[in-house]
Structure 1
């Protein structure tokens, strides 16, 4: 009889454990009278994907810029309708908003008073957007305009090509590049943290949205025809381009990945996204990045002349379409990190991190 009572006691205990587990896993839906958990982000308005960052995100190089961001009133953010965010296609998302601005440093993404081409903090712009939009994903690319000052390094490498008697630009860059990237990381981390802060203050929890931090692609590869190693194409030395592809972009990518870990953002690595499709690699129609681009019409206007080369060496419209293809796959996966790599079909795809290695 004692053994019989023990058996029934054990059975009752097992039933209680299973019942508690069922309630824990099914949540309030299994408890009558309790409110059902919300479905998706809080607030009202269309379900939206937002892009935040610098020229890689704004659409610099993709052309057809919105007039209000093409020099009007001093605004040179160069937002393009061809930017990858405008091509994001995920279920239920009906709105796409590009807050990115060409040349933006991390400081202008973060909350604060910093401006870029007349525009205030992108995190603050997001706070305003949340009032009438429901945010499903925020895609960010920043860092290159902090200590690495990527565009300034491109200028130095151009000078090295123009003055062959001087050392390659990579001679000095390799000495300081890692320390520059290390100094960048906390700034990127702080900016992404401010984006998260804005969402949290609006009632969002991490499960409500996807947070993506992207790295950068190398815009020019070392194997370019000599005829294009000129002002008509890509005026850079081979050794400098080799360093940029092998070390420069990969070290920068590692730094951004470090910031993604610190902020619990998903990381999308673009460091190898342009392989074989860089500027000056083949027929311009097959390239995903702009060559040296000069807007001749801007040279005759004082307020535009200094921006005449701004589009050079950025993802072009084809490049943004490919990044969008990779990003769509990445967002659909909803978890983990990935790299954008060219597939057998010639398109850019999101390769899960374990595969990409």
Structure 2
């Protein structure tokens, strides 16, 4: 056989062998796509505080913590209050197969990358990014709801609410000549001002903290998300109180809240869920608007740093219009936020719904119960289950919009629009 024919034969045999091998050896299977997921990160306004139906929460040691009792330490992981009624679980999210609520009531920017157990008053849970990494091992993260900024190193929503409510209660039950000794010391008897809630310097510091935390979130998502495609929705905060109270709550027994000692009016507003001076309402809305600016600035700053990221700002400051506490005469019935509710000492889960007939000693004891066992009152002035249902509608719109910033507004008939 000539060399040429031998070469041709060998080449033909090689082709035949390769063809046969391709026919009998199956191709490697394609990697199975992970199920899609939406996750919530941040604080109480996305964890579901106020909405009830709280699920056990896995603590930093890997132990699922159910309700530990009213006198347990408030650092218990359960008091993250992750609710089955939270907006993440109520939103219509086409294409999402699983939802994970990783937010924690009281959460701060610190808690995104570092375990909150490492800071004062932090709960015993792992860093939210560590929890997110665990989800990313089994799911393709397509949507992230972020609610962050109302609690930080400078101020917290809980402290702001407590300050203004306590001032009103102290003013209502005591005269200017009387000493008011709360657990944490005397309480001023005057409305809250803008400076009492947050200063420009505090907003600036809080914004810097929040930007840093969300930058860490975006970097982590780029590292762990299965397909690299995900939308981040930055939700801000809605105020549970109106710009002014319904006229029914302006005065009682010919006394309003601009004069000394007005117990009947104090009891009336507490029962309705809004124990606060009318003069404190506008500063409260300035505070909510300041938080909105903080959240939008965070979104815009990071959009410039991550030009390829899908970042949407969701403004919910008008989502409760017409259904805030004491906005109607029937309050708290029909409101979308939880009224301020306290327990007596010892706390046993029974909320005090009326302060009528109670003297200042009883009022002091009840107020101190909130200070000692914060879990007994931490639901106060948060969206209730119906409120989180509305916020879920807001999230539904933000999850599908082509815009980079949208507002969620409640009309007089209760209709919700996102545009």
TM-score, normalised by the number of residues in structure 2: 0.67
Q: Match of 1:342?
A: 410
Instruction: For residue 204 of structure 1, report the CA deviation from its aligned partner.
Output: 5.7
- Stretches of structure 2 that go unaligned for 5 or more consecutive residues are 1-30, 58-64, 177-188, 250-264, 304-310, 350-368
Mapped pair 1:66 → 2:55: yes
Mapped pair 1:277 → 2:318: no
Mapped pair 1:145 → 2:145: no
State how far apart, in whole Å, the 1-side matches of 2:344 and 2:43 are. 24
The farther-off stretch of 160-169 and 208-217 is 160-169
Mapped pair 1:77 → 2:77: no
Q: Match of 2:289?
A: 250
**Partner of 1:266: helix, strand, or coil?**
strand
State how far apart, in whole Å, the 1-side matches of 2:106 and 2:377 are. 13
Instruction: Pick from 90, 97, 100 the counterpart of residue 103 of structure 2.
Output: 100
Given the superposition, is the C-alpha separation of residues 48 and 294 from structure 1 closer, same or farther in structure 2, using an over 3 Å criterion?
A: same
- Give the alignment's Cα RMSD to 1 decimal: 2.6
Q: Match of 1:33?
A: none
State how far apart, in whole Å, the 2-side matches of 1:342 and 1:119 are. 35
Given the superposition, is the C-alpha separation of residues 296 and 322 from structure 1 closer, same or farther in structure 2, using an over 3 Å criterion?
A: farther
Residue-by-residue CA offset, 1:10-32 (whole Å, 9 max, x unaligned): xxxxxxxxxxxxxxxxxxxxxxx
Given the superposition, is the C-alpha separation of residues 232 and 88 from structure 1 closer, same or farther in structure 2, using an over 3 Å criterion?
A: closer
Mapped pair 1:323 → 2:369: no
Instruction: For residue 127 of structure 1, report the CA deviation from its aligned partner.
Output: 0.9
Q: Match of 1:216?
A: 237
State how far apart, in whole Å, the 2-side matches of 1:327 and 1:71 are. 29
Instruction: For residue 344 of structure 1, report the CA deviation from its aligned partner.
Output: 5.5
- Stretches of structure 1 that go unaligned for 5 or more consecutive residues are 1-41, 352-357
**Partner of 2:124: helix, strand, or coil?**
coil
Instruction: For residue 205 of structure 1, report the CA deviation from its aligned partner.
Output: 7.0
1:61-210 alignment, distance < 5 Å: 61-68=50-57, 71-72=67-68, 74-75=76-77, 76-109=79-112, 111-115=113-117, 116-146=122-152, 147-164=154-171, 165=176, 166-170=189-193, 172-173=195-196, 176-202=198-224, 208-210=229-231
State how far apart, in whole Å, the 1-side matches of 2:288 and 2:32 are. 39
State how far apart, in whole Å, the 1-side matches of 2:201 and 2:387 are. 30
Instruction: For residue 44 of structure 1, report the CA deviation from its aligned partner.
Output: 4.2
Instruction: For residue 278 of structure 1, report the CA deviation from its aligned partner.
Output: 1.1
Residue-by-residue CA offset, 1:280-337 (whole Å, 9 max, x unaligned): 3233342110101235697049999431111110000101111111211121214321
Given the superposition, is the C-alpha separation of residues 105 and 188 from structure 1 closer, same or farther in structure 2, using an over 3 Å criterion?
A: same
Q: Match of 2:362?
A: none
Q: Match of 2:255?
A: none
State how far apart, in whole Å, the 2-side matches of 1:119 and 1:59 are. 17
The farther-off stretch of 296-305 and 178-187 is 296-305
State how far apart, in whole Å, the 2-side matches of 1:59 and 1:203 are. 25
Q: Match of 1:48?
A: 37
Q: Is the 8 A contact 1:70 1:77 kept in 2?
A: no
The farther-off stretch of 288-297 and 154-163 is 288-297
Larger relative helix fraction: 1
Q: Is the 8 A contact 1:277 1:288 kept in 2?
A: yes
Q: Is the 8 A contact 2:273 2:338 kept in 1?
A: no
Given the superposition, is the C-alpha separation of residues 298 and 124 from structure 1 closer, same or farther in structure 2, using an over 3 Å criterion?
A: farther
1:17-32 alignment, distance < 5 Å: none
Mapped pair 1:57 → 2:46: yes
State how far apart, in whole Å, the 2-side matches of 1:288 and 1:43 are. 43
State how far apart, in whole Å, the 2-side matches of 1:307 and 1:56 are. 16
**Partner of 2:337: helix, strand, or coil?**
coil
Q: Is the 8 A contact 2:91 2:395 kept in 1?
A: yes
Q: Is the 8 A contact 1:47 1:133 kept in 2?
A: yes
Instruction: For residue 349 of structure 1, report the CA deviation from its aligned partner.
Output: 2.1
Residue-by-residue CA offset, 1:219-261 (whole Å, 9 max, x unaligned): 112324426423552110001012212x111112111110111
Larger RCO (CA within 8 A; separation ≥ 6): 2
Q: Is the 8 A contact 2:397 2:418 kept in 1?
A: yes
State how far apart, in whole Å, the 2-side matches of 1:219 and 1:230 are. 14
Instruction: For residue 274 of structure 1, report the CA deviation from its aligned partner.
Output: 1.9
Q: Is the 8 A contact 1:341 1:349 kept in 2?
A: yes
Given the superposition, is the C-alpha separation of residues 50 and 160 from structure 1 closer, same or farther in structure 2, using an over 3 Å criterion?
A: same
Structure number with bigger Rg:
2
